[in-house]
Amino acid sequence: MTFVYPNGERRFRSALLDWAAADVRLLLVMANSTAGATPAADFVSDIGTLDECDAAGYARTAITGRSVNVDTVNKVVALLAAQTDLPAFAAGSRPNIGAIVYQHVGADSANPVLLYLDAAPYFPFQAVGSPVRFLWNASGIVRYPLTAF
- For the chain, how long is the longest CA-to-CA vector? 48
The pLDDT assigned to 14 comes to 81
Q: What is the Cα–Cα distance from 59 to 62, expressed in whole angstroms?
A: 10
Please determine, for residue 83, whether its predicted confidence score (pLDDT) is greater than 50. yes
pLDDT reading at 146 higher than 80: no
* Model pLDDT for residues 90-121, shown as the tens digit of each residue: 988 999 999 999 999 999 999 999 999 998 78
Q: How would residue 149 be classed by pLDDT, with cut points 50, 70 and 90?
A: very low
Higher pLDDT, 148 or 7: 7
Confidence at residue 147, expressed as pLDDT on a 0 to 100 scale: 64
Phi and psi of 48, rounded to 5°?
Answer: -50, -55
How large a percentage of the chain has pLDDT more than 90? 65
| Residues 105/45, Cβ–Cβ less than 8 Å | no
Asked if 100 and 29 touch (Cβ cutoff 8 Å), the reply is: yes
How confident is residue 47, by pLDDT bands cut at 50, 70 and 90? Answer: very high
Rounded Cα distance between 39 and 14, Å, is 19
Q: What is the pTM of this model?
A: 0.92
